[in-house]
Amino acid sequence: MKSAAAVATAGFDLVVRGGRVFADGRLQDLNVGVRDGRVAALSATPLAGTTVLDAAGKLVLPGGIDVHCHIAQTTSTGATTADGFYDATVGAAFGGTTLVMPFAAQHRGQSLRASVAAYRERAAGRAVIDYAFHMIVTDPTPTVLETELPELAAQGFTSVKLYMTYDALRLDDRQLLETLLHARRLGVVPMIHAESHDMINWLAERLLALGYRHPRHLAHARPALAEREATDRALGMAELLDIPVFIVHVSSAAAAGQIARAQRAGLTVHAETCPQYLLLTEHDLDRPFHEAVKYCCSPPPRLAGDHAALWDGLRNGLFACFSSDHSVFHLDGPHGKRKGGANTPFDRVPYGLPGLETRLPLLFSEGVARGRLSLERFVELSAAGPARIFGLAGRKGAIAPGADADLVLWDPQARTTLSADSLHDGAGYTVYEGTEVHGLPVTTICRGRLICHEGRLLAAPGHGELIACERVAEVGARPAPAPWLA
């Protein structure tokens, strides 16, 4: 890796030489010079550096940003997700991601400030790539909204996640409106989990009372209609307050249709989808219990017709982000998905699947390599869009002078077969076992430091830093739609 000739005239700490670099919206033959963790030069002429990395035949893309992942999170049932910040970020790095945005979850009765402090503690000294937090607000008291939220926003925590379902997490519509109003004032981005709470609970009760317990009935208890209804309601509230919102893990054509309609009407609505909604269907839940639990996530996987609509949305800009919704529970053990045995009702199986490491290889392979997605859209969905929406632009999400040197070298010709044995996230399983992927990240660089290179981990725990997010101007800068909504 070190070139003796280059050492003598070292100008940069690191030079990535001879790659096809995605900069300024297109692929260009450039050399990247890195100094003090930042991109210091992009040049068609040779650069000299202390370390020179040969990127011939590789694509040099902005490091991936995953804005939806659950790491070391205590869930509403008291279980903690299985991986900590080290395992999760090592997996993410091998998958071409250089920044993760997990959640700091407030529990009711707890101060938001205390919950953020607790999650900062869980991450500190462990992550190998950078991270930032969204705050899950479950108890929007006047103190939380009027004192803590402004203080935390000023410290760089500028997004909140709001749930419309789950007993322990949900806000009712009145609380949602009040929280959206405060978010608007502060320039804080609201992310919304949109599923109709009462529809889901009522359906689940009926199903279970009639003896329908198998995981396949998760799809019947959480139908696309429940997602569509809540998405429409959330968008109505956003329209009332004229606040941009971010709809998380859109899984169905029906919900995507609501978002498209709102976007056409001029609302600023951002949205993401995830690999499981492009590659799995509800029929994956038909397997025997011990296998079916692996596929239990919420919302559940839908149908092939939904896949087509979501691919359209990835192509045409309806979606600005592609996220994993990584949420790992082991299969066995005290918090495992199989802990209650084969007769466990579908609503007692922990929901979520591992995805940090496979997110971008799957998007590249199924999208770019198969001709469904341009490389421009891949970069937008994996890095630029997430950075822009969540207040990281300028520093993250693009290869540009002055930005952090978060770079991923992709070998577009490399192929592999996904298998839990070769993944690094510690989950012990992947729902993509046996899936062939075409195109792979081979080197991941975070702030100029090699994190993984050719299959080896080169960074120690603690390289990753907490990144402060800016307040997002598009949220706070617009005039209030009425004096009583200011």
Stretch that binds Zn ion, among 89-97, 119-127, 131-139, 321-329 (CB under 5 A): 321-329
- Closest separation between CB of residue 68 and Zn ion, Å? 6
| Residue placing its CB nearer to Zn ion in the complex, 161 or 185 | 161
| DSSP-assigned letters across all residues of 113-174 | HHHHHHHHHHHTTT-SSEE--EEE-S---HHIIIIIHHHHHHTT--EEEEESS-TTTB--HH
| Residue placing its CB nearer to Zn ion in the complex, 32 or 363 | 363
- Closest separation between CB of residue 10 and Zn ion, Å? 44
| DSSP-assigned letters across all residues of 183-233 | HHHHTPEEEEE---HHHHHHHHHHHHHTT--SGGGHHHHS-HHHHHHHHHH
Scan for tokens 């953020």, then name that residue. 116
| Residue placing its CB nearer to Zn ion in the complex, 49 or 275 | 275
| Residue placing its CB nearer to Zn ion in the complex, 67 or 188 | 67
Q: Does 272 bind Zn ion (CB under 5 A)?
A: no
For residue 298, count CB atoms less than 10 angstroms from its CB and return exposed for 0-12, middle for 13-18, buried for 19 or more.
buried
- Closest separation between CB of residue 81 and Zn ion, Å? 10
Beta bridge partners of 39: 34
Q: How many CB atoms lie within 10 A of CB 375?
A: 18
Stretch that binds Zn ion, among 114-122, 146-154, 318-326, 377-385 (CB under 5 A): 318-326
- Closest separation between CB of residue 327 and Zn ion, Å? 6
| Residue placing its CB nearer to Zn ion in the complex, 313 or 352 | 352
- Decide: helix, strand or coil at residue 255: helix
- Closest separation between CB of residue 297 and Zn ion, Å? 9
Question: Taken in order 164, 167, 172, 177, is the CA torsion positive or negative?
Answer: negative
Stretch that binds Zn ion, among 137-145, 276-284, 294-302, 323-331 (CB under 5 A): 323-331
Query: Which of positions 456-475 make contact with Zn ion (CB under 5 A)?
Result: none
In whole angstroms, give the CA distance from residue 296 to residue 345: 12
| Residue placing its CB nearer to Zn ion in the complex, 102 or 140 | 102
In whole angstroms, give the CA distance from residue 252 to residue 277: 8
Pairing of strands 12-23, 130-131: unpaired
| Residue placing its CB nearer to Zn ion in the complex, 22 or 329 | 329
Stretch that binds Zn ion, among 26-34, 319-327, 369-377, 446-454 (CB under 5 A): 319-327
| Residue placing its CB nearer to Zn ion in the complex, 53 or 92 | 92
Element (H, E) at 49: strand 49-54
Nearest residue to 223 via CA among 200, 249, 243, 189: 200
- Closest separation between CB of residue 165 and Zn ion, Å? 12
| Residue placing its CB nearer to Zn ion in the complex, 20 or 134 | 134
In whole angstroms, give the CA distance from residue 61 to residue 29: 12
Stretch that binds Zn ion, among 260-268, 300-308, 325-333, 383-391 (CB under 5 A): 325-333
State the binding string over 410-439 for Zn ion (x if CB under 5 A, else -).
------------------------------
Stretch that binds Zn ion, among 173-181, 262-270, 317-325, 353-361 (CB under 5 A): 317-325
Instruction: Confirm if 426 and 87 have CB atoms less than 8 A apart.
Output: yes
CA distances in angstroms from 73 to 104, 120, 162, listed in the order given: 7, 12, 16
Residues in contact with Zn ion, counted by CB under 5 A, come to a total of 1
| Residue placing its CB nearer to Zn ion in the complex, 297 or 318 | 297
- Closest separation between CB of residue 83 and Zn ion, Å? 14
Phi (first) and psi of residue 417, to 5 degrees: -110, 120
| Residue placing its CB nearer to Zn ion in the complex, 161 or 182 | 161
Q: How many CB atoms lie within 10 A of CB 68?
A: 27
- Closest separation between CB of residue 135 and Zn ion, Å? 14
- Closest separation between CB of residue 50 and Zn ion, Å? 41
In whole angstroms, give the CA distance from residue 130 to residue 144: 27
In whole angstroms, give the CA distance from residue 160 to residue 104: 9
Q: Does 325 bind Zn ion (CB under 5 A)?
A: yes
- Closest separation between CB of residue 22 and Zn ion, Å? 28
Stretch that binds Zn ion, among 93-101, 324-332, 415-423, 441-449 (CB under 5 A): 324-332
In whole angstroms, give the CA distance from residue 158 to residue 190: 9
The residue at minimum Cβ distance from Zn ion is 325
Query: Which of positions 337-396 make contact with Zn ion (CB under 5 A)?
Result: none
- Closest separation between CB of residue 338 and Zn ion, Å? 21
- Closest separation between CB of residue 373 and Zn ion, Å? 23
| Residue placing its CB nearer to Zn ion in the complex, 161 or 447 | 161
In whole angstroms, give the CA distance from residue 315 to residue 305: 16
Residues in contact with Zn ion by CB under 5 A are 325
